[in-house]
Amino acid sequence: MASQGIKRIGLLTGGGDCPGLNAVIRAVTKTAIMNHGVQVIGIEDGFLGLVQNRIHELLPEHVSGILTVGGTILGTSNKCNPSRYCTGMDDRGQPVFKDVTDRCMDHLQHWRLDALVVIGGDGTMSCAKDFVRRGVNCIGVPKTIDNDLIGTDITFGFQTAVETATCAIDRIHTTAASHHRVMVVEVMGRNAGWIALHAGVASGSDIILLPEIPFDYGVICDFIAQRHRHHRSCTIACVSEGARPVGGKQIVNHHDPTSPDPVRLGGIGKIVADEIERRTGAESRVTVLGHVQRGGTPIHSDRLLGTRFGYQAIELLMSGVRNRLVVMRNHKVTDIDLLDAADKQRLVSLDDPLIAAARAVGTCFGDAPGE
């Protein structure tokens, strides 16, 4: 039965979609209703649905059969921050922003919501921060394929994205070998190199370029030349979209001025491939995996993690705690202060054991270790 005065909770998914979201929605909804007698109210398209009052009740039958389905049945948005909501464009074509948090609070009151379960990454937790400060009890569930949320060793969605990227690079190996080419594969990750590091090592990529380790074209090209001297006829490079050369900047694909996070990275893969071909003469090609990393059926580990996180979110809420983020630390599901994860990113540490292991088997990170 319901305790701590919790009778109705809101549930939303914010930020980019990823595999495993529906596993969390299912676990939250069924645990709340079947174990505690709590009503679950689904909010459509993240905080955008809260602004626009697009809200409806979720029942167990609505979430049955969705465990294996990618995406989110609630929809999501990575553009809406209620404290800085874009209402349109001015005469100069510039976005006009307005704080509509009061409107959201009115909708929360109308639906008589006692708490919010917010599923998302650092941007979603930053939005939740404003509601916490207004007295709303928010329980966060960490979601992002980038694996860059502070406080948790892993986020759901990451492992499926790595599996997708790894399988793609595996397929590229055969065409690289057949044509004796340098094949550059650009993966997602924003400012964090987790996807590139894990997919690069898992696929046996010869070169891995991370945002955390600025690279030197001279080091990369010398490495490729050495491979050719040892009759290695092809080279695979896994490049994070946030990678940059020493002294250079990240490559911005475009800006979206209406978004709370306006910078969209992308394009470094082609630049790297073109520069390698120019310097070495080796035929080079680039493949940008893009949003294929977000889509599709979640692998078993993300289904399990999403289920554990969703269950824990409700158990925390019903225990009487406030404003906590469910996290995985040292293989144990626990929780931290939600505000500790807002406006921050978890990057790859330069002393990460996986980097050391990759270097030991001859992987090039575009730098000169020890200098």
145 phi/psi in degrees, rounded to 5? -70, -20
Return the residue matching tokens 């809200």. 55
CA distance 215 to 248: 9
**146 in active site:** yes
For 286, the token pair is: 């680039």
How far lies 275's CA from each of 80, 129, 169, 237, in Å? 38, 43, 21, 13
> Which residues are 187's β-sheet partners?
240
Query: Could you tell me if 265 and 207 are in contact, meaning their C-beta atoms sit under 8 angstroms apart?
Result: no
For 315, the token pair is: 């158990």
Q: What is the 3-state secondary structure (H, E, C) of the chain?
A: CCCCCCCEEEEEECCCCCCCHHHHHHHHHHHHHHHHCCEEEEECCCHHHHHHCCEEEECHHHHCCCCCCCCCCCCCCCCCCHHHEEEEECCCCCEEEECCHHHHHHHHHHCCCCEEEEEECHHHHHHHHHHHCCCCCEEEEEECCCCCCCCCCCCECHHHHHHHHHHHHHHHHHHHHHHCCEEEEEECCCCCCHHHHHHHHHCCCCEEECCCCCECHHHHHHHHHHHHHCCCCCEEEEEECCCCECCCCCCEEEECCCCCCCEEECCHHHHHHHHHHHHHCCCEEEEECHHHHCCCCCCHHHHHHHHHHHHHHHHHHHHCCCCEEEEEECCEEEEEEHHHHCCCCCCCCCCCHHHHHHHHCCCECCCCCCC
Exactly one of 146, 148, 206, 302 is catalytic; which is it?
146
Question: Which amino acids are annotated catalytic?
Answer: 146
